[in-house]
C-alpha cells in the first residue's frame, strides 16, 4: 500500500534546508518554485483518504506519517542537519512521521547517523505539530528503553531513567521507587518469587500524575510488566534470539513513557502508573517448576513454567492497583509468544471485561494508526488455569501452549475485581522489521501513542 502512494505525484509538502537563505514560493495550484540546496518531494497517496473501516485506521494520517518519514530519512542520508516540514494538512501526523522516522538507537556506537533537527514550515498548524512531536518523542523514549542492553537498563536504572524524564514536571508528578523491603511488606509473593533468581534488586515503580487536581474523578491506572531481562529462569529459553528479551519490559516502557508524555502535554486527567521491575534469571534461589507461591490477594499459584513469569509480577501489581479505586485499569505486557502467533505485528491484542473501555481504546488506536484488536475472555480459558493439582491457579494452563495468550489473560483476570479492566498483550508488536514504514528496524515502542491518545480521550470526556 505504501509503495503505491508514491505513484501519486500530488506534491503537498517540501522539506527545506534551513542553513541556506533562499526564497520559496508555493503556488495555490500546488506548483512549487524553489531555489534550495536540498528539496525532498513525496506523494501522499489517494486524495480524500480518511478512516478505513477495514483497516481500522485513518489512511490519510498513516500516509502522511510514512511520507514525511521517507522524506526526512532521505535528507538525513544526504547529511542535511536542519529541516522544515510542511504540515501536509495534518501537522500532528507530519510531526509524528518526522520524529519517529528519524529515530535510531546508535547511542553506544562510535559512528552515529547525522542528527536532524526538524521544525514546522509555516505557522498554520503549530499546536498540532507540537503535539505530534511530543507523541513521537514519547514513543521514542519507550524505544530507547527497550533497545538498551540489559546491563544498561537494570530495574534500578530503568526507574532512575523515568525519574529523570519526569523531573521537569515535579509540580504535578510524584514518584515512588519502592525497594525490596516495601515489596516484602506488601506481601507480593508472586513478584518476589521471580525477582529472587537475580542479583539485581527488584524495584516497584509507582508514578502519580495529577493533571486535574480539582477533579473528584477516580484516576486512570496504567500497569506495565517490567522484566528488564528474561532468560526464562530455570525453564531456560533457547539462546538464539534471547538478546531480544532485554525488551521484555516493553509494557513498563510504554506505560511510563505514556505518563511522561501526558505530563508534557499537561493532560487534565489523573493517572497512576505501576511498574514491577526485575530480572528473570536462573540460579540456586530461582523459582523451580512445580513451586507454589502466594500472591498479594492470598491466592496460591503453581509455577509449572518459570518462563511464564510476567503474569506473576503483574498479578501482585494488579492487586495493589485496586487499592486506589481507579476509574479503569489498563495493563500492558509483552506477555506471550502466542499473541505474536495470533496477530503478528498488525495489532495489540486486547482482553477486557468492559465494552466501554474497549470502545475508548479502539477509538484511540484508529487515530494513532497503532491498532488494537479485541480477544476473548471466555470461561473456557479460566478453567484451564483454575483446575490445578497443588494450588488455586496454575501459571501456564492445563493445555500448556493451546490458546496461550487467552489463558494468560484468564490468569490475570483472577486478580481483577474492577469493572473496567483491559490487558494489552504487546508481544507481537514489540519489534519492527519493516511492517511499519515510519519506524526503523528494532524495538517499536508500541503502543505508547495509543495509550497517550486513550488518556487524551478520557481527559476530553468524549
Q: Are 93 and 44 in contact (CB under 8 A)?
A: no
Same domain, yes or no: 351 and 454:
yes
Q: What dihedral do alpha carbons 258, 263, 268, 269 form, nearest 10°?
A: 50
Query: Considering 108, 124, 140, which residue would you say is the last residue of a domain?
Result: 124
Does residue 131 belong to any structural domain of this protein?
Answer: no
Query: Considering 89, 124, 159, which residue would you say is the last residue of a domain?
Result: 124
* Domains in the chain, number: 2
Residue 258 has, within 13 A of its CA and on its CB side, a CA count of 33
Task: Identify any residues that bridge with 177 across adjacent strands, giving them in sequence order.
Answer: 205
The domain in which residue 286 lies consists of 150-460
Q: pLDDT at position 48, please? A: 72
Query: Considering 124, 141, 169, which residue would you say is the last residue of a domain?
Result: 124
Same domain, yes or no: 111 and 200:
no
Using CB atoms within 10 Å of the CB of residue 361, give its burial: 0 to 12 exposed, 13 to 18 middle, 19+ buried: buried
Does residue 391 belong to any structural domain of this protein?
Answer: yes
Q: Rounded to an integer, what distance in angstroms lies between the CA atom of residue 186 and that of residue 45?
A: 55
Q: pLDDT at position 160, please? A: 99
The CA distances from residue 65 to 134, 199, 416, 428, 459, in Å, are 15, 43, 37, 21, 25
Looking at the annotation, which residues are catalytic? Answer: 237, 311
Q: pLDDT at position 327, please? A: 98
Same domain, yes or no: 108 and 155:
no
Confidence at 398, pLDDT banded by 50, 70, 90: confident
Q: What's the rounded mean pLDDT across residues 78-95?
A: 94
Q: pLDDT at position 36, please? A: 60
Same domain, yes or no: 218 and 339:
yes
Same domain, yes or no: 278 and 316:
yes
Does residue 132 belong to any structural domain of this protein?
Answer: no
**CATH number of the domain bearing residue 366:** 3.40.630.10
Residue 417 predicted with pLDDT over 90: yes
Task: Give the containing element (helix H, strand E) for 157.
Answer: helix 155-166
Q: pLDDT at position 346, please? A: 98
Does residue 141 belong to any structural domain of this protein?
Answer: no
The CA distances from residue 155 to 34, 178, 317, 333, 434, in Å, are 52, 11, 15, 16, 30
Same domain, yes or no: 274 and 420:
yes
Does residue 129 belong to any structural domain of this protein?
Answer: no
Q: What dihedral do alpha carbons 279, 247, 447, 333 form, nearest 10°?
A: -30
pLDDT by residue (tens digit) across 217-237?
Answer: 899 999 999 999 999 999 999
Residue 11 predicted with pLDDT over 60: no
Does residue 9 belong to any structural domain of this protein?
Answer: yes
Does residue 399 belong to any structural domain of this protein?
Answer: yes
Same domain, yes or no: 215 and 358:
yes
Same domain, yes or no: 27 and 101:
yes
Q: pTM score, two decimals?
A: 0.92
Q: What's the rounded mean pLDDT across residues 343-359?
A: 99
Residue 17 predicted with pLDDT over 60: no
Q: Is 86 helix (H, G, I), strand (E, B) or coil?
A: coil
Q: Rounded to an integer, what distance in angstroms lies between the CA atom of residue 185 and that of residue 189?
A: 10
Residue 242 predicted with pLDDT over 90: yes
Q: Rounded to an integer, what distance in angstroms lies between the CA atom of residue 409 and that of residue 316?
A: 14
Q: What's the rounded mean pLDDT across residues 142-159?
A: 99
Q: Rounded to an integer, what distance in angstroms lies between the CA atom of residue 445 and that of residue 141?
A: 8
45 vs 48 pLDDT, higher one: 45
CB proximity list for 238: less than 8 A, separation 6 or greater: none
Listed in order, strand segments (DSSP E) in 225-268 are 226-230
pLDDT by residue (tens digit) across 264-299?
Answer: 999 999 999 999 999 999 999 999 999 999 999 999
pLDDT by residue (tens digit) across 325-347?
Answer: 999 999 999 999 999 999 999 99
Does residue 137 belong to any structural domain of this protein?
Answer: no
Same domain, yes or no: 292 and 367:
yes
Residue 352 predicted with pLDDT over 60: yes
**CATH number of the domain bearing residue 88:** 3.40.220.10
Same domain, yes or no: 120 and 224:
no
pLDDT by residue (tens digit) across 171-182?
Answer: 999 999 999 999
Q: What's the rounded mean pLDDT across residues 62-90?
A: 94
Q: Are 64 and 90 in contact (CB under 8 A)?
A: yes
Q: Among candidates 278, 288, 270, 289, which has minimal Cα distance to 252?
A: 278
Same domain, yes or no: 64 and 118:
yes
Same domain, yes or no: 168 and 111:
no
Amino acid at each position: 500500500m505504501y509503495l503505491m502512494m508514491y505513484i501519486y505525484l500530488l506534491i503537498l509538502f517540501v522539506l527545506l534546508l534551513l542553513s541556506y537563505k533562499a526564497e520559496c514560493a508555493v503556488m495555490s495550484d500546488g506548483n512549487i518554485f524553489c531555489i534550495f540546496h536540498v528539496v525532498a518531494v513525496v506523494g501522499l497517496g489517494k486524495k480524500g483518504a480518511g478512516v478505513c473501516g477495514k483497516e481500522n485506521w485513518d489512511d490519510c494520517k498513516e500516509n502522511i506519517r510514512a511520507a514525511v518519514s521517507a522524506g526526512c530519512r532521505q535528507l538525513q542520508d544526504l547529511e542535511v542537519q536542519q529541516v522544515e516540514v510542511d504540515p501536509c494538512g495534518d501537522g500532528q501526523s507530519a510531526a509524528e512521521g518526522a520524529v519517529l522516522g528519524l529515530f535510531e538507537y546508535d547511542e553506544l556506537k562510535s559512528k552515529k547517523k547525522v542528527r536532524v533537527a526538524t521544525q514546522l514550515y509555516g505557522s498554520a498548524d503549530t499546536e498540532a505539530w507540537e503535539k505530534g512531536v511530543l507523541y513521537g518523542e514519547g514513543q521514542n523514549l519507550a524505544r530507547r528503553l527497550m533497545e538498551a542492553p540489559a546491563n544498561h537498563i537494570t530495574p534500578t536504572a530503568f526507574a532512575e531513567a523515568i525519574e529523570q524524564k519526569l523531573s521537569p514536571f515535579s509540580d504535578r508528578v510524584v514518584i515512588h521507587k519502592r525497594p525490596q523491603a516495601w515489596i516484602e511488606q506488601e506481601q507480593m509473593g508472586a513478584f518476589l518469587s521471580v525477582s529472587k533468581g537475580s542479583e539485581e534488586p527488584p524495584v516497584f515503580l509507582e508514578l502519580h500524575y495529577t493533571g486535574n487536581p480539582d477533579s473528584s474523578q477516580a484516576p486512570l491506572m496504567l500497569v506495565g510488566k517490567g522484566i528488564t531481562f528474561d532468560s526464562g529462569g530455570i525453564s531456560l529459553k533457547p539462546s538464539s534470539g534471547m538478546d531480544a528479551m532485554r525488551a521484555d519490559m516493553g509494557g513498563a516502557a510504554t506505560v511510563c513513557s505514556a505518563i511522561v508524555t501526558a505530563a508534557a502535554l499537561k493532560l487534565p486527567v489523573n493517572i497512576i502508573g505501576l511498574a514491577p521491575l526485575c530480572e528473570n534469571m536462573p540460579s540456586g534461589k530461582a523459582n523451580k517448576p512445580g513451586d507454589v507461591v502466594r500472591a498479594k490477594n492470598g491466592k496460591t499459584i503453581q509455577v509449572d513454567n518459570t518462563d511464564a513469569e510476567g503474569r506473576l509480577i503483574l498479578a501482585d501489581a494488579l492487586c495493589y492497583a485496586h487499592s486506589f479505586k481507579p476509574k479503569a485499569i489498563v495493563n500492558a505486557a509483552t506477555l506471550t509468544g502466542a499473541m505474536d502467533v495470533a496477530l503478528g505485528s498488525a495489532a495489540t491484542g486486547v482482553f477486557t471485561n468492559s465494552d466501554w473501555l474497549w470502545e475508548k481504546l479502539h477509538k484511540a488506536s484508529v487515530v494513532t494508526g497503532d491498532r488494537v484488536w479485541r480477544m476473548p475472555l471466555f470461561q473456557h480459558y479460566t478453567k484451564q488455569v483454575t483446575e490445578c493439582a497443588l494450588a488455586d491457579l496454575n501459571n501456564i494452563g492445563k493445555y500448556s501452549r493451546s490458546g496461550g495468550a487467552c489463558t494468560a489473560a484468564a490468569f490475570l483476570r483472577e486478580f481483577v475485581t474492577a469493572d473496567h479492566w483491559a490487558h494489552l498483550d504487546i508481544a507481537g508488536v514489540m519489534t519492527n522489521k519493516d511492517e511499519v514504514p515510519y519506524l526503523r528496524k528494532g524495538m517499536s515502542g508500541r503502543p505508547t501513542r495509543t495509550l497517550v491518545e486513550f488518556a487524551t480521550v478520557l481527559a476530553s470526556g468524549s
